Amino acid sequence: MTEKKKVNVSEFLTKYAMVIALVVVFILFAILTEGRLLNAPNMSNLMLQNGYVLVMACGMLLCILTGGNIDLSVGSVICMVGGIAAVLITNAGVNPYLTIVICLVAGLLVGIWQGYWIGYVRIPPFITTLGGMFIFRGIGRIILGNKTVPIQDGRFLNFFTQYIHIPGLDDGGVIWSALIIGIVVAVLIVLNMLKTRAERAKHGYRQNSFLSDILRTVVIAALIVVYSYLLSQYRGVSVMLIWVVAICLIYNFITSKTAFGRYFYAVGGNEKATQLSGINTNKIYFTAYANMGLLAGLSGLLVAARVGSVNGNTGTSFWGPAVCFRKWGFPVKIVVDTKRFDEAAKNADACILFYHWRNKYRFGAHFVALRNTAGGFVGYNTYRNSTGVDNYGGSLADFLRKRKYFGAVLIAINRKPAESPCQNVENGSENL
């Protein structure tokens, strides 16, 4: 007889803290916008405009699972792949469906290239993808010829952005197919939860309380029904939504239902133990970044179809904090030569330091916000999740040497307005 588990409110709040915070923020902005956030056109456009982000998130998930690694080059890959699509369709007149295949292959080749250096040569992912960020951006600009190339082929655009309408059912003012799909999905989610609980109870597995599971499932199902209702009031279900849902379901199945998907968790947890158990960790790293390249290529197609044009700045919103500060009018300098870290940090108003460290079989990554003071460099270390500031001494170079670092990058930020938007490379640094 299985023991009934009581609902632990504190545990529930801790486990779903981010979800609760997201709901609160959503409700807050809905109130501040006087309900405009929940308008049917807005809810439909949110998916159309941000679907590619969810696609890239699925690819980035595998990279993060390998030990908190990321891919900085995705924005540049989007630009390059989008540029290939625009030039082939508009300038060369290539069949749009053949173009899609070519672009996906191009994204995959980028992922294979970076995956080889990361997985088999063991160059840190941060450094490899940082280099790829500039390389593929340059290739994209060359392909586009520093011009904006439009895409007007309806077959290509409709393949990613059109809305699904069923003749006879959706001929009126309400797109009933969207609402029906939402209700069916909600019912399937509830049935799947009940089936999962029955299987776990049959095998005597420990599980959450029934109240906890049913509340979570009902809330998710209700949100799906509400969202589908809003879609039914506007234009229905978009092809973009289908792409996103399909990708999310595929990667959810891989990471939760397959042994290969579990390997990514194992590598991120303890790479050495995973390697000793007979798993090829090099292959896992390679697969993660090859897959990221493929999904970045798909995201490039989604962005190109949504916007209807591609230029050299497409995808710049994915360049990370440096680009964010640069867009706000702050001059930003990226320095990779540790000998110049002290000079760059002392001359900047604020700095962000990223580096990897290794202690025997343990690996780690630090992301630190730094400030130069009279007593030396101080900063907040996100890896340690410290409650106060840490002292890094008078020399960042000396600190890094003692820490046995590798793959260090310093982002220096100034308050004065940028004088020129031009990009310059000099002595291992770049002004964005």
Contact at 8 Å (CB) between 260 and 70? no
Q: Count of residues for the chain?
A: 432
Please state, in angstroms and rounded to a whole number, the distance separating the CA atoms of residues 287 and 148: 33
The reply to whether 261 and 368 lie within a common domain is: no
Residues facing residue 310 across a β-bridge: 149
Task: Give the end-to-end CA distance of the chain in Å, rounded to a whole number.
Answer: 64
Matching residue, tokens 């003692």: 402
- The pLDDT of residue 12: 66
- The pLDDT of residue 381: 62
Please state, in angstroms and rounded to a whole number, the distance separating the CA atoms of residues 298 and 108: 10
Q: Residue 420 falls within a domain, yes or no?
A: yes
Beta strands, E only, 293-432 = 309-310, 332-335, 350-359, 362-373, 376-381, 390-391, 405-413, 424-426, 429-431
The reply to whether 63 and 83 lie within a common domain is: yes
The reply to whether 155 and 263 lie within a common domain is: yes
Indicate the residue among 273, 293, 318 that finishes a domain. 318
Please state, in angstroms and rounded to a whole number, the distance separating the CA atoms of residues 241 and 160: 9
Which DSSP category does 416 fall into? S
Contact at 8 Å (CB) between 275 and 361? no
The reply to whether 352 and 386 lie within a common domain is: yes
Indicate the residue among 318, 347, 378 that finishes a domain. 318
Please state, in angstroms and rounded to a whole number, the distance separating the CA atoms of residues 228 and 223: 9
Please state, in angstroms and rounded to a whole number, the distance separating the CA atoms of residues 106 and 92: 17
The reply to whether 296 and 343 lie within a common domain is: no
Burial group, residue 122, by CB count within 10 angstroms (0-12, 13-18, 19+): exposed
The reply to whether 383 and 289 lie within a common domain is: no
Indicate the residue among 271, 302, 318 that finishes a domain. 318
Please state, in angstroms and rounded to a whole number, the distance separating the CA atoms of residues 22 and 43: 16
What are the residue ranges of helices labelled H in 33-73?
Answer: 40-65
The reply to whether 334 and 353 lie within a common domain is: yes
Which DSSP category does 347 fall into? T
The reply to whether 268 and 404 lie within a common domain is: no
Q: Residue 299 falls within a domain, yes or no?
A: yes
For residue 331, give its domain range.
Answer: 321-431
Matching residue, tokens 């310059």: 424
Please state, in angstroms and rounded to a whole number, the distance separating the CA atoms of residues 19 and 352: 28
The reply to whether 133 and 248 lie within a common domain is: yes
Q: Both tokens of residue 255? A: 């990471």
Q: How many domains does the chain have?
A: 2
248: Cβ contacts below 8 Å, ≥ 6 apart = 54, 58
Q: Residue 52 falls within a domain, yes or no?
A: yes
Shortest CA distance to 395 belongs to which of 335, 336, 343, 359?
343
Report DSSP letters for 303-319, one per residue: HHHHHSEE-TTTTGGGS
Q: What is the model's pTM?
A: 0.69
Q: Residue 13 falls within a domain, yes or no?
A: no
- The pLDDT of residue 407: 66
The reply to whether 332 and 397 lie within a common domain is: yes
Shortest CA distance to 99 belongs to which of 290, 243, 298?
298
Phi and psi at residue 409, to the nearest 5°: -140, 135
Please state, in angstroms and rounded to a whole number, the distance separating the CA atoms of residues 212 and 220: 13
Shortest CA distance to 115 belongs to which of 275, 287, 281?
287
Q: Is 365 helix (H, G, I), strand (E, B) or coil?
A: strand
- The pLDDT of residue 132: 87
- The pLDDT of residue 292: 93
Please state, in angstroms and rounded to a whole number, the distance separating the CA atoms of residues 271 and 256: 19
CATH code, domain carrying 389: 3.90.70
User: In this structure, what is the dihedral angle of CA atoms 270, 276, 282, 285, given to the nearest 10 degrees?
Assistant: -20
Geometric angle at alpha carbon 276, from 274 and 281, rounded to 5°? 45
The reply to whether 136 and 153 lie within a common domain is: yes
Q: Residue 131 falls within a domain, yes or no?
A: yes
What are the residue ranges of helices labelled H in 233-320?
Answer: 239-257, 259-269, 271-276, 281-307
Q: Residue 423 falls within a domain, yes or no?
A: yes
Q: Residue 182 falls within a domain, yes or no?
A: no
Which DSSP category does 351 fall into? E
Shortest CA distance to 289 belongs to which of 71, 53, 130?
71
Residue type, 358: R
Q: Residue 18 falls within a domain, yes or no?
A: no
The reply to whether 379 and 347 lie within a common domain is: yes
pLDDT, tens digit only, all 432 positions of the chain: 444 445 566 666 666 676 777 778 778 777 877 777 777 777 777 777 778 888 888 888 888 888 878 888 888 899 999 999 999 999 999 999 999 999 999 999 999 999 999 999 888 888 888 888 888 988 998 998 888 888 888 899 888 888 888 888 887 778 888 889 999 999 999 998 899 888 888 888 888 788 878 888 888 889 889 888 888 888 888 888 888 889 988 998 898 889 888 999 888 888 888 888 889 999 999 999 999 999 999 999 998 988 888 888 787 654 444 444 444 455 667 777 788 888 888 888 777 887 766 665 445 556 777 878 877 888 766 544 444 567 888 888 888 887 777 667 788 777 554 443 333 333 333 333
